[in-house]
Structure 1
Amino acid sequence: MKNDPKSAYNLLTIVGPTASGKTGFAVALAKAFNGEIISGDSRQLYRGMDIGTGKDLQEYTAEGTPVPYHLIDIVDAGYKYNVYEYQRDFIAAFEDISRRNKLPLLCGGTGLYIEAVLKGYKLVNVPKNTALRQKLEPHTLTELEAILKTYKTLHNSTDTDTKRRAIRAIEIADYYREHEIDNTEYPAISPLIIGVSIDRELRRKKISHRLKSRLDEGMIEEVKTLLDKGISPEDLIYYGLEYKFVTQYVTGEISREDMYASLEIAIHQFAKRQMTWFRGMERRGFKIHWIDVTMPLEARIEKVKVLFNGTV
């Protein structure tokens, strides 16, 4: 199916919590719509962080044909990529795909990144605020999250599972409160947003199964390799979730049993925060069409085609 010039949409967006099957669905849709995928995941950007981020690059093939993807493996692990850079890189990918008469498909679970590009927020590269960081450092993570909620500007509450990430989020929010941001050109984006709906118990089972699989596939060895390459434990812990707890285990800070139990709980909590963000997007005016992941794949694709072509 070619990108329909009559459609009201020029971007197909697939969102959902971790372990919901977003990637496989997006790949199938890319094949059906003659499209290319733009990742909306804040961790899959990093080279060498493969198992822990669930890149599953082998999934980017539909019926034996590779599906092109963008914004995966674009910076080195250890770098602190931010939403400003993501918006810039997303625009470049979106315009490149569109120029070639392909349909861009944005797929991911990082709500801040996705909402920032869909809404066209004009972002800037927020500089480091050393004084603010020193002021915030004594606070606990819970206290930092409470401080972050006092800001009215967009911030990413799904990815503040370490103190450093929470402090950076406050630093960004504080900058936006104190500075007037210019609203310059931004490409006109008309997204059809598809949400992957998955039963909570099924999601929990898939998360637990996937965690065990990732450990079996070498997630601990991946973290050791990154540390051996000179990336500091603090930098890996900054990325949260798998990299936080596995690094703490590898460096002897926690036991393997504590690592596994804490990480499993953290991923379940992360999935809940993702869903909270997407529900918040709906309250902020985004229309998300939720499709049950247990529906047959062809039926799901057909439903998206109907929505995309405006016949419903």
Structure 2
Amino acid sequence: MPPPPSTPPIVAIVGPTASGKTSLSLDLAEALGGEIVNTDAMQVYRGMDIGTAKAPIEERRGIPHHLLDTLDVGEPATVAEFQVWARAAIADIRDRGATPVLVGGSALYTRAILDRFDFPGTDPAVRARLEAELAEVGSPVLHARLRELDPEAAGRIEVENGRRVVRALEVIEITGAPFSAHLPVQEYVDPHTVQLGVAIDRETLDRRIEERVRGMFDDGLLDEVERLLDDGLAESRTASAAIGYRQAMAVLAGELTRDEAIERTAVATRQFARRQLAWWRKDPRITWLAYDDPERVAKALTAVG
């Protein structure tokens, strides 16, 4: 049953990494009397600050933030778990009469929270076999298999993200259907939902990504990763897949130079941003706002109503 008209809407801000989602989310939360719900899969991890571009506490304007720094890097996190956590946070925020403002770069996580999305089950034996195979032959081999079985799913999953590749192959095997068939449909769980997208041209976005990546390494990403390795980062199935962290670990292992890591991180981030946009551009429900529009907050508030 939909909530009464007095219930605050759910506002989700989407768009590619480095486009300016965080600042817009803070502006909107201030204007709406809202609270922020993180929808970035990696910002839930304590200590993963520089490489995830997590807003420091002093820059959060006193606005409550949810699903930040809730897990240690050694703890796995699935989309299904994130869905439960985020929906519970949203319900609590609305119960207080505040507006939940979702923001993050994980498109699948955002859709899983907002849309009707039921997760297929799991088979421990199949999962264990695929994970053993992953350890033996590596993610690129399994990703190539996924590309043959489900090209759509393979196009949405990074080659290096072995955890998601294994999950996709597991679902295909136990259901007999493509993994992409289990992705969320474009139907909001709550009709009082508004999505706002930050639009930015490719040249500007690429420049911002380059600047962000260099800034991360200049600000101490290697030191951050070195500390996280002591906490089990390398053994983590989830956190170790984060862009920037893989490359930084390779520098610390002597496999890449710092400059090589910066370049590879920038390339991987640009590719990630393209995939993000390809996902969101298929959603006609999103109201797009130019990243540099001086009236973007006012236009966002109009869209929220």
How many angstroms does 1:132 deviate by? 3.2
Give the equivalent residue in structure 1 for 2:16. Answer: 17
Q: How does 1:234-249 map to 2 (within 5 A)?
A: 235=237, 238-249=240-251
How many angstroms does 1:119 deviate by? 1.1
Change (3 A) 1:257 1:60: closer
SS of equivalent residue, structure 2 residue 292: coil
CA distance in 2, matches of 1:255, 1:212: 14
Contact 2:39–2:106, Cα closer than 8 Å, also in 1:
yes
CA distance in 1, matches of 2:252, 2:130: 31
Give the equivalent residue in structure 1 for 2:224. Answer: 222
Give the equivalent residue in structure 1 for 2:185. Answer: none
1:133 aligns with 2:159: no
CA distance in 2, matches of 1:76, 1:101: 31
Q: How does 1:224-303 map to 2 (within 5 A)?
A: 224-232=226-234, 235=237, 238-280=240-282, 282=283, 286-296=284-294, 299-303=295-299
Q: How does 1:110-259 map to 2 (within 5 A)?
A: 110-123=106-119, 126=122, 128=124, 129-134=127-132, 138=137, 141=140, 144=143, 147=146, 150-151=149-150, 157-175=156-174, 177=176, 188-232=190-234, 235=237, 238-259=240-261
1:107 aligns with 2:109: no
Residue range with higher mean Cα deviation, 169-178 or 101-110? 169-178
Give the equivalent residue in structure 1 for 2:53. Answer: 54
Change (3 A) 1:215 1:261: same
How many angstroms does 1:121 deviate by? 0.9
Contact 1:39–1:106, Cα closer than 8 Å, also in 2:
yes
SS of equivalent residue, structure 1 residue 47: coil
Contact 1:153–1:177, Cα closer than 8 Å, also in 2:
no
How many angstroms does 1:267 deviate by? 0.9
| Gaps in structure 1 of 5+ consecutive residues | none
Give the equivalent residue in structure 2 for 1:30. Answer: 29
TM-score by length of 1: 0.82
Give the equivalent residue in structure 2 for 1:85. Answer: 81
After superposition, the CA RMSD in angstroms is 3.0
How many angstroms does 1:254 deviate by? 2.0
How many angstroms does 1:45 deviate by? 0.7
CA distance in 2, matches of 1:240, 1:18: 13
CA distance in 1, matches of 2:33, 2:25: 12
How many angstroms does 1:174 deviate by? 4.2
Contact 1:20–1:198, Cα closer than 8 Å, also in 2:
yes
| Gaps in structure 2 of 5+ consecutive residues | 183-187
How many residues end up aligned between the 2 structures? Answer: 291
Letter in 2 for 1:75: L
Give the equivalent residue in structure 2 for 1:39. Answer: 38
Describe the superposition over 1:115-155 as per-residue Cα deviations: whole angstroms up to 9, x where unpaired: 11111212367454122334565365276156157349978
